[in-house]
Structure 1
Amino acid sequence: MPEQSKSGASTAVSARASDAWITALSNLVAVRSPLSGPLAERLAGRAELTKTQRVRLERLRPWAGRITNPPPARDVPPGEISFGVLGYRAADYVAASRNIGDWVQTLAMMSHLVRRPDVRLTGQADLAKLFTGLQSSVPDDRRIDGPSSTVHLVEFNRDASSYDSLPSDTWAFVFGWYFKLPFGRHPEFPLNPRIIPIFLSFHVSRGDQLSDLAFDYLRAHAPIGCRDWFTVRLLRSRGIPAYFSGCVTTTVGSLFPPVAPDPSKPVAYVDVAAPADDDQTGDAVEVTNLINGLRDKPLAGSLTDAITRLNSYRNDYSRIVTSRLHTLLPSLACGLTVDWQPKDPDDRRFEGLAGPTAEPLGDMAARVSRIAKVALDAILAGKSKSDVYAVYRDEVAADLDATDKHLAADKKVAVSAAAGK
């Protein structure tokens, strides 16, 4: 074999070997093996890695390090309350969210804390700075009175909370869509045991992804406030107290002053193609919620992008046309005109939220705001875990009753329809 051919063959073999080693590292991280850290460091010293292989390695390397050498639990200064801010990092880069609508949800939920002028925000420096700045810009008529306290903010991740270094007894609202499957294996659920969760605006897409352990975890922290009726029925079928709360993004408009859309501005088509033959869309702008760069950004940076996106909807367009639930609801919450064009109008995620089954947005926003306020008042007053849960359960008792009545009425309608009445 000519010398050049030998060199090319050797390079190809080396590239395949490196691919195999990085795949092996991925598998070790997936099962949280303590061998992942040493292997990651060994691979980092290999000069023959291609640029693509180096990128794959550097994405896995920090997670491998956390497995081998878990960071110590963070300390919270005396008198401060540890509170989790939901992020979307994941050890599996492909499973990490790139949908800016996720960060809009986090922003909406955090608005219930940010709107309190008597709360001092500390903790993770970039998050404290971001939310303190946002706190100072909340319109006066949107502020919430309540206990004066200091809240220590920490990031925890929906799809990787077991890797997170969290203080003991970290309170958190748990909301949004569960469950992704990092590395195609199993969801990151239950959450990190240092989290004290209050489930509000929670969604599960498939019941077969939940283990008995996951159902037991939900049962232990019930009642579960569900974003949609599919999730309510799923949890009720397993004997878990659950109620319809609606979507937390219906409350995000409270962070901003009202706006009056300008009809002279272009129309934003968010993950919907602008029609080419419509004279009125000559200045249309096509926008997507799916942004790959969000997978690598720090949480504070992604939340800043979410604020920028909402301000763009509020100020740059005459109306919004979208297929995305988390463009529809936050845009409506900001008082904007929205044309809803879902890809699948019968998607079970939308029941109660959009289309003909939608509850009035104001009703959902009022419910989420009421429950969040009661729970936060108790947390910020320094009540014990058992006392906070007792206050929360008392508050949602009427919502559980209303959910019972809704489900009973639906059952009667279904029986009547089956009987041909």
Structure 2
Amino acid sequence: MTDRQENLPLARLRATAMTQGKRLARATLNKITSGVDRAQEAREQQGGRPSDAEVRRLEGQIERLQQQLADARLFRSAVSSGLTQVQMPLSRTQTPAQARRHALKAIKSLGGQAVLGQELEHGNPLDVAIMRMVRKLLANKQHVRARSIGHSLLKYEGTEGLGHAAVGLVAMYQSLIELAEHHFDALTPDEAARLVPAEWMDVQFRRDPAAAVASTQEHAAQLLATDELRFEAVALALREHQDEFARTLYDQLRADRADAPALSARALDEYAWLQSWFEMTDREAAGQPAWHDDAVNIGVLDYKHADFTRQSANIGDYIQTIGSMTHLTRFTNLEFHGHEDLTSTAELLQSRTRGEFRSELETPAKANLVRLDRDDTGHNHIPDNTWMLAFGWYMHPPFKGEFNFPFAENVNPIFVSFHIQRREMLTDAAIAYLKKHGPIGCRDWTTVYLLRGVGVEAFFSGCLTTTVDAVFEDPSGVQDPERVAVVDKNLTSDIRALVPAGSTVDVITQASPEVGRSPLGPNVREALELLDRYRYYGKVITSRLHCYLPATALGCTVEFTPGRDGDVRFDGLHGLTPGSPDLAAIQNGLRAKLESVYRLILSGADRDAVYTHWRELTADDVAAANEYASQPFELPKPQFDVASACQTILEGRADFASGISTTEPAQPDDVHVALATDANLRYEVPVVVESILKNASQPVHFWVLTRDLRPDYFAALAETFPQARFTFLPCDRVQYGDIAGMLQHITVSTMDRLLLPLLLPDLDRVVYHDIDAVTLADIADLYNTDLGENPIAARSSRASWAESGFGNVYRAANRLDRTTAARLRRGMHEMMPYDFTTFNAGILVMDLAHMRKDDFCHRYVGMAGEFGMNDQEILNCYTGPKRTVLDIRWNSVPQQEVVEDPWLIHWAGPAKPWRPEYVVLQEVWDELVESLHARAAAAGTLTSLLGHVPAAGSSAASAEDVERDPLEEGESSDSEEGEATEQLHGAR
């Protein structure tokens, strides 16, 4: 396929985007211009002397139309800017799919900007129109552009308030709450209510819930002006446990609007559910009259809470509940008391229990069944000493608030099939709670490793859904080999390839909003019917854990095809087949332990006796888990000969002093700074050098790791800055392997810094400096940072989702096959304490002597090829918590934080100061560009070194922009976060 043919789809899409954009801009201007003309004509043609009121009306109409005309011209400029970028050149290697993606992103961006024109056409004021455009851009995951608009507005007198609102809105979108708080604090309540009412209330409730209630009441006319805002305030109040205020607001809204408030379809579902939830909590608050005083209280896990969109809509959760209840309902002489929904469910399972799994208590007993919500026990009515099997994934707090963990005070948990992967849940109180109620039976090995890392005794229990077979008859001979169930998977070519020829395919889903609306009993019955249905298929293909495991337990042939083979949730659960030893070990282990502990609980034993017995029951499992988890782990060897590669690089070394080539050795008193670049950033490197030398108090020696750059470039750079020494180290021939974790706005040259300890054998220390950063203070102060006993100094990551060191490991593992992922997770948990805060690797002070002593290059560089990890991930795995924390002023990221008097500005993420879109403090870059131009012109190197340096806001594109999608947005790859956030990343 030729380049021309390859880009035909893009050319057509470009043409469409340009035509539509120009047409929209032209139509907007023509409409407003003709409106002005008509208004003026109406005044001129009116016979006689018009009334004063008519004059004022016409003058007001003309004034409004003229303002709209001015606003629309701003819109036309925005469209033109967008179209300019759509026409930016593309890489010749771009595939048709990439071309389509490029053009679609461009159209999305124009769509966001088109909102501005539409809003102005409808007569809305400019500030409201701009905020709606920003919201549209965020909805299209164009947060870099949205932020550029906000920062541009912040620059100019008269639009600062609008800028604060826009930047604060983007910060909320990125979960940068402190940054949002800073910008919203600059708004008056009236401005906030006009531009960002919901987000402003959100920040106030996070900061001080009680004060937020008072503020919302004080400014109710503005903040609660619409039904949407009233309902948003209800949700925020519930999230922050302001239940009385939430109920009052909700009841007022319901009194005013009944079942038909002015809400979106989705919000209407939430509104209707909340009424049901309030009624349910009211009903349960009085307890159950059917409970018996002489019965043991047993919790049955449900999944309800106030937030309809966050509570479970997955029938698979109720398959878990079935699995848990089979260990209680196996006792034939146990009576159940409580709400009919629970007792009838328990009696149904009791009656279905197969003979070989039935058992009798030594003495007949009674159980009060208590409904408990996994993620919100705080709103349940729970009698004293309620025992509960605590299983599943505790990751769904209402309204994205705090995790409701530990459980409510009256709950006595027995932890089995427990899963956790987020350190936010592991507060000091949570860790103490787990220790008190341990050992913890874990659904997967990752949870075992994590809990061991915080000092909690844990063991691998597997999943309770493997025990649902206790309530099903033997399925042998039932399956229809010519029918295949595809559960929650699209019928892609890969999935179709798994379907036997001639088979009939039934597509099934386990997720439905009706699951959230239905009580526990009907959901359990639906789950039983679904499991019974699976038994009739010759094959089941699914990505759902709670389809794969129970269907396998029922004897089905299951093809488990998760979205990520190395998913953190499935370590230890892959490869199970009907009747396999591994499956039997999970089933038998769960049944033996839970029968024994339930016998003791139902006998009326006290808490201490039960937990003592639990520790005895699980002691061997804990010992086995400790032995397995502490197996020796060896880091993978590099996929290339590190020593040979470094030798090759050093053979190409080129040294310059006083602007000319030299063979003199490096001077020990110099400040040593390492840069890593390739041809994509050849124009930006001298800007960085300019910034460093402009403020340096000592001589600087630059060690430049290069790719795709020629000797004439080296010479020109050295001639431009004769006061500095330069050593160029060409790294073109080094290949690190397939780096799955490389961000889209980064090139492989950033990996070359991993070789610095061996490439600079005569140096004990170096500052590594990214190319998208400029230094405003004396680099010698950074160079002389006291590292103590640590190998690296760096600033901590900012984005909440990127802070966890083991989150960094888990994300890397999720990109791998199951075996390699499991090895990485186990090895890292064995090597490092859980958990530590990650750092941004864009600015580093590196103790090269320390790193050579640790044999860093030979031991850690192999993580790139074997585990697909990028340089920042590898460096974080190397240091763990053993690093010196840099003052954030030495690595200030103005897009993500507010820093007074920064010493170094780092434009981390996709937005760069040399690109057309405005980025905060871009003027600092522009000033350095001007200074560099003057310096290069005086040195006679302007053309040979620079050719051109794209100034901020210019339409020119650097080579880097040509090579990547110019509209690329920095998005989180972790779908579980649900947030389109860019990590505070230390690379281009």
Same fold (TM over 0.5): yes
For 2:544 and 2:283, the matched residues in 1 are separated by: 40
Alignment partners' CA distance in 2, 1:244 and 1:276: 34
Residues 1:92 and 2:307 are matched in the alignment: yes
Q: After superposition, where does 1:213-252 map in structure 2 within 5 Å?
A: 213-252=429-468
SS in 1 for 2:361: coil
Alignment partner of 1:49 is 2:261: yes
Secondary structure in 2 matching 1:374: helix
Q: What's the offset of the Cα at 1:68?
A: 9.5
Structure 2 segments unaligned to the other structure (5+ residues): 1-56, 58-121, 124-193, 195-220, 635-822, 832-857, 863-988
* Alignment counterpart, residue 272 of structure 1, candidates 467, 471, 489: 489
Closer/same/farther in 2, CA of residues 389 and 301 from structure 1, 3 Å limit: same
CA drift of 1:355 comes to 4.1
Alpha-carbon distance in 2 for matches of 1:324, 1:173? 22
Query: Corresponding residue for 2:406?
Result: 190
Scaled by the length of structure 2, the TM-score of the pair is 0.39
Q: Match for 1:392 among 614, 639, 646?
A: 614
Asked if structure 1 preserves the Cα contact closer than 8 Å seen for 2:238 and 2:246, the reply is: yes
Q: Which residue type is aligned with residue 205 of structure 1?
A: Q
Counterpart code for 2:228: D
2:234 alignment partner in structure 1: 25
Aligned runs of 1:72-151 on 2, under 5 Å?
72-74=286-288, 76-147=291-362, 148-151=364-367
Whether the 8 Å CA contact 1:37–1:68 is kept in 2: the answer is: no
Are the aligned partners of 1:207 and 1:234 in contact in 2 as well (CA < 8 Å)? no
CA drift at 1:341: 1.4
For 1:240-266, what per-residue CA distance to the aligned partner results, in whole angstroms no more than 9, with x for missing partners? 111111111111111111112434441
Q: Is the 8 A contact 1:22 1:56 kept in 2?
A: no
2:586 aligned partner:
364
Please tell me whether the aligned partners of residues 323 and 341 of structure 1 are also in contact (alpha carbons under 8 angstroms): yes
Amino acid at match of 1:44: R
Q: Quick check: 1:154 aligned with 2:370?
A: yes
| 1:58–1:262 distance in 2 versus 1, CA, 3 Å | closer
Gap change, CA 1:135 and 1:418, over 3 Å in 2: farther
Distance 2:448 2:573 in 1: 13
* Structure 2 residue corresponding to 1:40, chosen from 250, 258, 267: 250
Indicate whether 1:310 and 2:310 are aligned.
no
Distance 2:274 2:341 in 1: 23
Change (3 A) 1:117 1:65: closer
User: Could you tell me which amino acid in structure 2 is paired with residue 292 of structure 1?
Assistant: P
For residues 185-230 of structure 1, what are the alpha-carbon distances to aligned partners after superposition, in whole Å with 9 as ceiling and x for unaligned?
2111111111111111100021233222111211111111111111
Distance 1:276 1:159 in 2: 37
Q: 1:90–1:96: 8 Å Cα contact kept in structure 2?
A: yes
Stretch moving more, 403-412 or 44-53: 44-53
Q: How far apart in 2 are the matches of 1:276 and 1:366?
A: 35
SS in 1 for 2:231: helix
Matched residues, percent identical?
30
> Which of these two proteins has the greater Rg computed from alpha carbons?
2
| 1:402 aligned partner | 624
**Deviation, structure 1 residue 58:** 3.1
The 1:66–1:247 alpha-carbon spacing in structure 2 relative to 1, beyond 3 Å, is closer
Q: Which letter maps to 2:485?
A: A
Retained in 2: the 8 A contact 1:74–1:167? no
Greater RCO (CA < 8 Å, at least 6 residues apart): 1
| Paired residues of 2:376 and 2:397 also in contact (CA < 8 A) | no
Contact 2:326 2:353 in 1 (8 A): no
Aligned residues between the structures? 409
Q: Of residues 287, 292, 314 in structure 1, which corresponds to 2:508?
A: 287
- Note closer, same or farther for the CA distance 1:198–1:35 as it changes in structure 2 (3 Å cut): same
User: CA 1:259/1:245 → structure 2, altered by over 3 Å: closer, same or farther?
Assistant: same
Task: Decide whether the 8 Å contact of 1:200 with 1:226 is kept in 2.
Answer: yes
How far apart are residue 69 of structure 1 and its match? 10
Any unmatched runs of 5+ in structure 1?
Answer: 2-7
Mapped pair 1:173 → 2:389: yes
Amino acid at match of 1:285: D
* SS of residue paired to 2:413: strand
Does residue 274 of structure 2 align to residue 60 of structure 1?
yes
User: Separation in 1 of the partners of 2:504 and 2:281?
Assistant: 51
Distance in 2 (alpha carbons) for counterparts of 1:279 and 1:232 = 38
Structure 1 residue corresponding to 2:600, chosen from 366, 378, 381 = 378
Report the 3-state secondary structure (helix = DSSP H, G, I; strand = E; otherwise coil) of the residue aligned with 1:402: helix
1:136 CA drift (Å): 1.5
- In structure 2, what is the Cα distance between the partners aligned to 1:407 and 1:381? 36
CA shift at 1:59, angstroms? 2.4
Give the distance between the partners of 1:285 and 1:63, measured in 2 at CA: 35
Instruction: State the secondary structure of the residue aligned to 1:153.
Output: strand
CA distance in 2, matches of 1:309, 1:405: 39
Distance 1:363 1:108 in 2: 16
Q: Which residue of 2 aligns with 1:352?
A: 572
Deviations 1:23-53 (A, max 9, x none): 1111111112121122211111113724746
Structure 1 distance, partners of 2:284, 2:516, is 22
The one-character-per-residue Cα deviations of 1:125-176 (angstroms, maximum 9, x if unpaired) are 1111122122112222221233421111111001111101121111111001
* Structure 1 residue 181, shift from structure 2 partner: 3.0
Task: Find the counterpart in structure 2 of residue 4 from structure 1.
Answer: none
Using the alignment, how far apart are the partners of 2:309 and 2:412 within structure 1? 28
